[in-house]
Structure 1
Amino acid sequence: MERHREERPTGGSRLEKKAKKKRHFTRQQKALIAVAAVLAVVLAGVLAWQSLFVKPQVPTGTQDPEKETTIDYGEGNRPKAGGERKSKDWYTVLILGRDTGGGGNTDTMLLASYDVTNQKATVMSIPRDTMVNVPWDIKRINSVYNYYGGDQKGIDALYKEIAQLVGFEPDYQVVVEWDAVGEIVNAMDGVWFDVPRNMNYDDPYQDLHIHQEKGYRLLSGDDAMQVIRYRHDTNMKYGYPDGDLGRIKTQQAFLKAMVQQLLQVKNVTKIGEFAKVFQNNVETDLSFNEMLWFGKQAVLGGLKIEDVNFVTMPNTPVSCWSRTYRNYQSYVVPNAQELLDLVNRDLSPFVEPSVMSDLDIMSVNKDGSVSSTTGHVEDSKAAAPPVKPAKPAETEPETTEPGTDQPSETDPETGEPIVPTDPGATDPGTEPSTPSEGGTPTVPSEPEPAPQPEPEPTPEPEPTTPTEGSDFTVIDPPPAA
């Protein structure tokens, strides 16, 4: 018993000592634990931050298999889709602005080329009246989306036309509902912008009302939407001197101001708000995390606004006879050599330069026929000189376009029935461009005189001659402001 009593205190003393050793740390140990905990939190934050940004893959094949099933180039040129790139991270994106309030038209078309490696970007606007190589009569590029029924089929068709126009397939496409611009502006707490003129336009049919004062001020999202939609006043007495091209200039200036302010570091904290806008208003083959990667590269990579070049596709106004409307329709055609130079210098990501026959550039010949730099015209009737009757035809107008199921008396832009205008309309005295040897179109040294508009209903009346003292020419009437 005594030995037992002697052993207990000895054993208990050892246990107490061991317990005390477990509970105590030196100051150095405590400091190391604190540092480790902080590093763990920082590492977790870094990993979470990095997971927000996913680098897009640069396409390396000749054609995306998913696009293979939806895009048929037929007898037309197959644009370049692969090859050695000018830099490691050079991306191209087709950006289409869809105006739901305006019937879903894709009047805003931008081709963006971003050299991430060297922090240089070029954004080219494509005018809505650009003539493209399509099998129907009215060949404006903004008719393509609705002609094919809109949605993804319309987007694929428009992607095809723009890819053939510039000779290469953009890596990605982004379809933005115009309302998203206003929502992003609101998320940025407004954009400072110099509104170029007073703007007053009302269209109850579209519930579109534009009332903006000239001057430099902070625009809300609603203000911004009004500014970028405006083309002319309701009474058509005031507007941009060059019609839709004037609107493009204002849109480019606004986007430049918006990008400059968006690149500020303070906007990095608004990722959640931008994500919500993205989910509600954007359709794209890029993920949101991939788009965030572009934003991160621009903000942290040092992209300056002076390194972003906004340009409009080099173009010349022309007019072309319409066998459907039996009058002259206004277009713009690309200035072939200037566009080719722009593609090779700033837009195409590929080292191998394009040649003229790679680009599908339309032109109007002196005899009124149309031609393409590729040598192939999809509308065989337009490839021949037009037949312009001197008096109203006794027979009904043609009912079906070659290769399509859509009657020609249906407006390819709106799908609405149309009534041909006076078939005795005369040539406004222009001489459209003539292809030079090798198929490269040349353009007139001076823009063509604008023909007078035909009586209603016409799809988009021709420009009128400004009256004395006026400073503009209106190309398109409401409601498509």
Structure 2
Amino acid sequence: MTAAPRFAHCHGPAFRFDGPFAQRAGADKEFAVPMVKKRRRRHISPLQRRLMALVIILSVFVGLTLTYKAIVRPPQLEGENGAGLPASSQAFSSAEQALQDADQLALAAKAAHSARKSDFYTILVSGVDDGNGGSDTNILVAVDAGAGRIYGVNIPRDTKSRINGKNYKFNAAYNLGGMEQAAETLSGQLGIPVDYTVEVSLKAFSALVDAIGGVDFNIPVNMDYDDPIQNLSIHFTAGTRHLTGAEALKVVRFRHNNDGTGYGSEDIGRMKTQQDFLKAVAKQTLRPANLTKVSQFAKIFQQYVKTDLELGELAWLGQEAFSMGADNVNFSTLPGEWHSPYIYLNADEVLGIVNEYLNPYVEDRVLADLNILS
């Protein structure tokens, strides 16, 4: 029986191998076993750590910046510069050519009449929580980023309007067809497009005022009104005071006192108060300190606002508003006269406001472009 091989004489880095197999290979032959060197850990200095952290931060910043630029963009309008001109591909007789030339000139004139200014957008903003299904407040906002200004024009709720072939007050448009109908009605009257709509619950107004810490405001008249049906009580003394969101909402909704006194002209006086208050809110909201409250503003927006603007477009508009500052935000009201049951707009004065503040086109509008009811 053959003996099993034996391993012996281990001497650290080398060992001897004997036994039957050792005789064949050469007895007592030593085999060297190479030493395995341990890899030393590379020491990273504090400076290298800081540089690595800086690279990571910069990479994240660049990624966020690229994402921000990809998302935040100006509102995208379809057919901004009117219809294109058809190309000619056939031979025409002189008469036919003359007709074609006339058509081309007409199309060219139409295209020129509808060429738009750069970065100019019209947005109908409506407050819609007045308890009867209509829009309580309607403001057409023109954002002229090129000129660095924002202009809002109140549309009197009792403005005589033509909707579906019948006469109504303007605030009925929302009740009849929502924001789309309101935008279509206003566009037809003013002869300019309403690019976007923003439907705001009046709760958003209250929440925004609270978010910015309230607003100091000069209440123009004594307010003493009660409406048990709406569970609404408004009681303020004229003068400057600090208003919370709930108080501010009462002030801007006030029309007249229980005894009928108040502004004298309910709707016009109320709109003037709303404009003054919105100016005060804009001035406080657009302060640099409120940039830290963007997430809070976004939450209010998600809860109480409906719009056809995309998130990135809203962010771009907000960015532009902050860069303009409150001094470049102004308001007025479409001029008209009250003859029960409507307010009749003054066409000439309305045209002046349209061309001065609201017109998104390069060319001025003319009276024929408007549709002001008499």
TM class by smaller structure: 0.7 to 0.9
Is structure 2 residue 79 aligned with structure 1 residue 60?
A: yes
- Give the superposition deviation at 1:48: 6.4
TM-score scaled to structure 2, two decimals?
0.78
Is structure 2 residue 219 aligned with structure 1 residue 195?
A: yes
Task: Quote the Cα distance in structure 2 between the aligned partners of 1:242 and 1:134.
Answer: 25
Q: For 1:138-197, what per-residue CA distance to the aligned partner results, in whole angstroms no more than 9, with x for missing partners?
A: 532123333x2xxxx233222111001110111101111112100111122212211112
Task: Quote the Cα distance in structure 2 between the aligned partners of 1:57 and 1:332.
Answer: 35
- 1:252 is aligned to 275
Is structure 2 residue 67 aligned with structure 1 residue 23?
A: no
SS at match of 1:133: strand
- Give the superposition deviation at 1:3: 10
SS at match of 1:132: strand
From 304, 310, 315, the counterpart of 1:292: 315
Q: For 1:91-111, what per-residue CA distance to the aligned partner results, in whole angstroms no more than 9, with x for missing partners?
A: 110111112x42122131111
2:54 partner amino acid: V
- 1:208 is aligned to 232
- 2:252 is aligned to 228
Percent same amino acid among aligned pairs?
Answer: 36
Normalized per residue, the structure richer in strand is 2
1:295 partner amino acid: G
| Matched-pair contact (CA < 8 Å) for 1:60–1:83 | no
Q: Compared with structure 1, are the counterparts of its residues 174 and 31 closer, same or farther at alpha carbon in structure 2 (3 Å cutoff)?
A: closer
- 1:154 is aligned to 178
- Give the superposition deviation at 1:49: 5.7
Task: Quote the Cα distance in structure 2 between the aligned partners of 1:139 and 1:347.
Answer: 24
2:373 partner amino acid: M
- 1:163 is aligned to 187
Q: Compared with structure 1, are the counterparts of its residues 37 and 208 closer, same or farther at alpha carbon in structure 2 (3 Å cutoff)?
A: same
Is structure 2 residue 345 aligned with structure 1 residue 358?
A: no
From 241, 251, 266, the counterpart of 1:217: 241
From 43, 62, 67, the counterpart of 1:43: 62
From 335, 342, 354, the counterpart of 1:314: 335
1:205 partner amino acid: I
Is structure 2 residue 144 aligned with structure 1 residue 115?
A: yes
SS at match of 2:136: strand
SS at match of 2:221: coil
SS at match of 1:102: coil
- Give the superposition deviation at 1:292: 2.5
| Matched-pair contact (CA < 8 Å) for 1:212–1:223 | no
From 352, 357, 360, the counterpart of 1:346: 357
Count of aligned residue pairs for this structure pair = 322
- Give the superposition deviation at 1:332: 2.0
Structure 2 runs not aligned, ≥5 long: 1-9, 15-30, 83-109
Task: Quote the Cα distance in structure 2 between the aligned partners of 1:121 and 1:59.
Answer: 22
Q: For 1:59-82, what per-residue CA distance to the aligned partner results, in whole angstroms no more than 9, with x for missing partners?
A: 33589xxxxxxxxxxxxxxx99x9
Computing the radius of gyration over CA atoms, which structure comes out larger, 1 or 2? 2
| Matched-pair contact (CA < 8 Å) for 2:149–2:328 | yes
SS at match of 1:232: coil
2:116 partner amino acid: R
Q: How well do the aligned residues superpose, as a CA RMSD in angstroms?
A: 2.8
- 1:84 is aligned to 115
1:291 partner amino acid: L
With 216-225 and 30-39 compared, the bigger mean Cα shift is at 30-39
Structure 1 runs not aligned, ≥5 long: 64-78, 320-328, 364-481
- 1:470 is aligned to none
2:141 partner amino acid: A
| Matched-pair contact (CA < 8 Å) for 1:55–1:293 | yes
- Give the superposition deviation at 1:345: 2.3
| Matched-pair contact (CA < 8 Å) for 2:283–2:327 | no
- Give the superposition deviation at 1:346: 1.4
Q: Compared with structure 1, are the counterparts of its residues 26 and 184 closer, same or farther at alpha carbon in structure 2 (3 Å cutoff)?
A: closer
Q: For 1:230-283, what per-residue CA distance to the aligned partner results, in whole angstroms no more than 9, with x for missing partners?
A: 0111221x2102221000000000001001111012222222322222222212
- 1:335 is aligned to 346
| Matched-pair contact (CA < 8 Å) for 2:337–2:344 | yes
Task: Quote the Cα distance in structure 2 between the aligned partners of 1:31 and 1:274.
Answer: 36
Task: Quote the Cα distance in structure 1 between the aligned partners of 2:12 and 2:204.
Answer: 88
Q: Compared with structure 1, are the counterparts of its residues 165 and 296 closer, same or farther at alpha carbon in structure 2 (3 Å cutoff)?
A: same
| Matched-pair contact (CA < 8 Å) for 1:193–1:216 | yes
- 2:160 is aligned to 131
Q: Compared with structure 1, are the counterparts of its residues 25 and 315 closer, same or farther at alpha carbon in structure 2 (3 Å cutoff)?
A: same
- Give the superposition deviation at 1:31: 4.3
Q: Compared with structure 1, are the counterparts of its residues 84 and 333 closer, same or farther at alpha carbon in structure 2 (3 Å cutoff)?
A: same
1:25 partner amino acid: I
Task: Quote the Cα distance in structure 2 between the aligned partners of 1:162 and 1:107.
Answer: 15
Normalized per residue, the structure richer in helix is 2
